[in-house]
Structure 1
Amino acid sequence: MQKLSKRMKLNLWLVWLVLWPISLWFSYTYYYINISGEAWNIILFALLMGAVALFPMTVNQQNVFFVNGVSLVVFILFGLFVEIVLSSLTLLIVLARVGTGKKDIYRIPLNIILITIGSIGAATVYNLLGGTHMAQSLGAFQEWTAIFGYAITVFVLNQVLISILDLVVLKQKRKIFDDGMRWESVYSLLYIPIGLIIYIMYVEIGWIAIPLVGIPYTFISVIFLLLYSYYHVNDLLEKTGDIGHRLTKRLDTNAVYDVFVQEMKELLPIDHACIYQVTDEKHLKRIRYYQDNTAIPLEISKDVFSEEVLKTGDSLLFKSKKEWTKSYPKADTSLPIESVLAVPVLYDDAIVGIVTVFSAKPKTFETLHKRILDILNNYLGVAAENAQSYNKKKQLSERDGLTGLYNYRHFSNQLSQYAVKVDPNTTCSLLVLDLDHFKPINDQFGHEAGNDILQQLARIMEAFIGKDGLVARYGGEEFVVFMPETSLEQARDQADRLRMLIANTVFVMTNHILNDSGPLKIQVTVSIGVAAFPDHCDDLTTLVRFADSALYTGAKETGRNKIAVFQQLQPV
């Protein structure tokens, strides 16, 4: 959705200033009904409409309020002019009830324009179908037809105008049969008979019919609101449960947080969201930030809300800037936010993270949203910990415990997977590297000193190969490197550069067995065998055997500290 620009808001006010007076003049002039002596009755109807307007439903950011039954009676009894005026005043009550802030004040002219167009359109249909404005009992088929025509026109025009508004002005697509339309459809089936009851009783017994029927009618609005609240809560809980199941199925930590953000922004009315992890040092580390594409960018140098949740362990809920500025006078009041909701992420009774959401509108978050986010955070805590545990176990199964490189089993699996999808025209190479004279080093300085060398050698190889290949420990003092999309010439050049880099590196042994307690420095050399696909084989999985053969036949047996290419068998 795209928020309205200042120019668009100004245009709405200008259209309202022009259209509404013209509409009132038009309705008073061409739909005039003598209402002299009816002031008391009109006031009673206004009070009834105001009472009903105190219980609106907000469905998909649309306000649904059930005054159409009363406005129908007002239109029949007192004409279009009175109906437009009372409906507009009722709208002001609704907007005040839902907490329309200064930034959304443009909704007043916008909704009055929609109501006015709908009222004029419905009145036109009513008159075309032969409807009258005389206070008499209903009996003629023509009157019934006109009343139903009026009601249907109000409903259809309301849906059409809202759809046009969403598509043209707000730049958002709206489902034709969404929750708002379904609830209004159900209500439309009820308000016609209720409106007719009010009308008939008013004709028969006068003004006393207004409170007699109006009070139950108001209670019906309350019941509708409670029913919708029950339905809405159940719907949110069902969606929350579905999100939890999707989260717990993710075994990658990044995927867990990505799914959480994606689903949370669909479930809660948020403009911004920050997700934090709690580090071992009990600090907050922001790992995800979401901003609605219509929201003003939010620059938070210090999130005092999340810090407070980390400190106290309790959730925070603020419905307006006035509330949170009182609690945190040092907070940045220039932030374009009104409502704030911050909830801890718990796992095993410990705070492992915090989710803080913001909205630029006041009274956006209620206790219900806090409960929903609390449930979501419980799912997030379990899913994130499960993913981290899985990744740790996976890493342990894939990594060599001493060097931290991939183990040969993982290397072999990756090579097999690559072999399945490799293009026959693709060239790739493989190196097998062996540390020269490693056994004498172990014998003289101890195996832990040898481990020091293996670990340092692993870091050198990782840094040298980088993202150009996959490095793994083959076994003992042997290592293997797979380099996709690398020709034989490129691999041979890389191998020689790696050999010289290692030969010129000073290794430090801190865990030796000599009496001297200080670290010892030593230089070592390596021998490397090279094989390439498809130069030397038709099957990628045989590359290791060919490179290993080149290592021992072409490099080790001819003096070490050399590289050799398979079949060439001439040291380079």
Structure 2
Amino acid sequence: MGVNPKAKKVIFLLWILIVPVGMWYTYQTYPPHDADNWVELSAFLLLTVIVATMPIDINNVPIFLIQWITLSTFLSFGLFVEMVFSQIAVIALLLKLRVQKDQYFRFPLNGLMFFIVSLGSGAVFYMLGGQTGVSLVQHPHRLGLAVLYVVLYYVLNQIVLSFYLFLFNGRKVSFFGKDFIVETITTLITFPLGFVLYMLYYQIGLQALLFVGIPFVSVSIIFNRYYSSEKINGFFQKAAEIGHQMAERHEVNGVIDLFIQKLSEMLPVDYAYILETIDDQELKLIRRIEDGEVLSNDLPGLKKNEGIIGNAWVKQKAFLFSSKKEWNDINIGYIHELAESILCVPIARNKKVIAVLLLASKQKRAY
């Protein structure tokens, strides 16, 4: 269940009414220290943006591992700087993910959620006598308050997330569900790293960002590369399984239906068209599926070099488009007006194109 347009407007309005005023209040109540040290602030901000733009992709779900750097920023410069950096991190992440226009509400939504969590946990930390920019190693009480801040941050994040899902998505989720497990694991992994970064920074300065930041970024790159390789191997395995299943079918229509069905399970497909060549002169539509419904094949045929499909036939190469503006000028019929991403592939036998497959999705950058 998606967020309705009215709720999106409310989210934008809440951010405008709460975050700027809250930032001003935070600056006045908990002023930052070392705020004039622009070199070190810039270094922390750069690391924040780098980490934010490198989420770990697991099963097509980006895992945002920014908590450790925001913790170190909070302990080093105070609540206000941590809030500002968190807002910038959210913007950097969503720009990296290239969210679609109808998902722009995620900018103020995530910014508002981070603001509430930061303010709540930070205010309690200061209220209990916590201090930032001080040594933690020689003062167990200070370290204990810093750990309490982490726990509060974690709990508030879960509460705010659950409240959002219930209020705007109508989902009553279990507090100890799958999201809880993922968040718990990332917290246990990343927050200790934040303490290490802060303690090293307090001792040796900016060199700490290199000692901790470079290994973390390297591991993130390696992990994403590994997952991409596993994902590709998974596609190859599924393709082999589809080939075996198709070989068991003896009717042409059965083979085509199975082919489209399996492709739809592997890829986001809203529209699918298969055209076969007729006497090497024309492409004739033999299967047309839109929004999961099989429609009649009464559309006119295509000649060579006509539109995307005709060019794929003649040039014997695949075409990939990420958005409608990339293909709208060369399209000739067939493709639904709501389609964005397109994958058009010629099907060859004995080095001769016998058909052309076109898949389309309403999502941008779906393939």
Q: Normalization by structure 2: what TM-score?
A: 0.77
What is the alpha-carbon distance in structure 1 between the residues aligned to residue 214 and residue 178 of structure 2? 31
Residue 339 of structure 1 pairs with residue 341 of structure 2: yes
Q: 2:314: which partner in 1?
A: 311
What is the alpha-carbon distance in structure 2 between the residues aligned to residue 148 and residue 252 of structure 1? 65
Residue 275 of structure 1 pairs with residue 273 of structure 2: yes
Q: 1:214: which partner in 2?
A: 213
Count of aligned pairs: 354
Equivalent runs, 1:16-415 vs 2, <5 Å: 16-59=15-58, 62-123=61-122, 126=125, 131-155=130-154, 158=157, 165=164, 169-170=168-169, 176-177=177-178, 182=182, 187-250=186-249, 254=253, 256-270=255-269, 272-278=270-276, 280-281=278-279, 282-291=282-291, 304-325=307-328, 328=330, 335-347=337-349, 349-365=351-367
Conserved 8 A contact 1:261-1:290: no
Q: 1:361 to 1:198 in 2, by over 3 A?
A: same
Structure 2 residue identity aligned to 1:285? L
Q: Aligned with 1:337: secondary structure? A: coil
Conserved 8 A contact 2:347-2:357: yes
Q: Aligned with 1:94: secondary structure? A: helix
Q: CA deviation at 1:85?
A: 1.0
Q: Aligned with 2:289: secondary structure? A: strand
Q: 1:98 to 1:220 in 2, by over 3 A?
A: same
What is the alpha-carbon distance in structure 1 between the residues aligned to residue 202 and residue 117 of structure 2? 26
Q: 1:13 to 1:255 in 2, by over 3 A?
A: farther
Q: CA deviation at 1:262?
A: 4.1
Q: 1:210 to 1:141 in 2, by over 3 A?
A: same
Q: 1:201 to 1:350 in 2, by over 3 A?
A: same
Conserved 8 A contact 1:129-1:149: no
Q: 2:296: which partner in 1?
A: none
Q: Cα deviation per residue 1:34-82 (whole Å; 9 max; x = unaligned)?
A: 3443333222110111122232344566433332211110112222221
What is the alpha-carbon distance in structure 1 between the residues aligned to residue 328 and residue 83 of structure 2? 41
Q: Cα deviation per residue 1:486-530 (whole Å; 9 max; x = unaligned)?
A: xxxxxxxxxxxxxxxxxxxxxxxxxxxxxxxxxxxxxxxxxxxxx
Conserved 8 A contact 1:69-1:195: yes
What is the alpha-carbon distance in structure 2 between the residues aligned to residue 87 and residue 289 of structure 1? 44
Q: Provide the aligned C-alpha RMSD in A.
A: 3.9
Q: 1:96 to 1:57 in 2, by over 3 A?
A: same
Q: 1:421: which partner in 2?
A: none
Structure 2 residue identity aligned to 1:136? S
Q: Cα deviation per residue 1:62-110 (whole Å; 9 max; x = unaligned)?
A: 4333322111101122222211211111222222222234443222112
Q: Cα deviation per residue 1:362-392 (whole Å; 9 max; x = unaligned)?
A: 3332xxxxxxxxxxxxxxxxxxxxxxxxxxx
What is the alpha-carbon distance in structure 2 between the residues aligned to residue 50 and residue 209 of structure 1? 17
Structure 2 residue identity aligned to 1:358? A
Conserved 8 A contact 1:66-1:221: no
Q: CA deviation at 1:235?
A: 4.0
Q: Aligned with 1:77: secondary structure? A: helix
Conserved 8 A contact 2:308-2:331: no
Conserved 8 A contact 1:274-1:286: no
What is the alpha-carbon distance in structure 2 between the residues aligned to residue 149 and residue 231 of structure 1? 38
Q: CA deviation at 1:315?
A: 0.8
Q: Cα deviation per residue 1:266-295 (whole Å; 9 max; x = unaligned)?
A: 43234x2213141545423142414279xx
Q: CA deviation at 1:360?
A: 3.7
What is the alpha-carbon distance in structure 2 between the residues aligned to residue 242 and residue 130 of structure 1? 62
What is the alpha-carbon distance in structure 2 between the residues aligned to residue 174 and residue 258 of structure 1? 37
Q: Percent identity?
A: 27
Conserved 8 A contact 1:127-1:146: no
Q: CA deviation at 1:201?
A: 1.3
Conserved 8 A contact 1:310-1:351: yes
What is the alpha-carbon distance in structure 2 between the residues aligned to residue 120 and residue 7 of structure 1? 27
Conserved 8 A contact 2:246-2:258: yes
Equivalent runs, 1:446-525 vs 2, <5 Å: none
Q: Normalization by structure 1: what TM-score?
A: 0.52
Deviation larger for 114-123 or 301-310? 301-310
Conserved 8 A contact 1:325-1:331: no
Larger radius of gyration: 1
Structure 1 residue identity aligned to 2:341? S
Conserved 8 A contact 1:309-1:315: yes
Structure 1 residue identity aligned to 2:66? V
Q: 1:197 to 1:125 in 2, by over 3 A?
A: same
**What stretches of structure 2 of length at least 5 have no aligned partner?**
294-298
Q: Cα deviation per residue 1:239-267 (whole Å; 9 max; x = unaligned)?
A: 44455555555556555444444443343
Q: Aligned with 1:219: secondary structure? A: helix
Q: CA deviation at 1:132?
A: 3.3
Q: Cα deviation per residue 1:289-325 (whole Å; 9 max; x = unaligned)?
A: 14279xxxxxx98893233223332111112334324
Q: CA deviation at 1:195?
A: 1.6
Q: CA deviation at 1:21?
A: 1.9
What is the alpha-carbon distance in structure 2 between the residues aligned to residue 243 and residue 150 of structure 1? 52
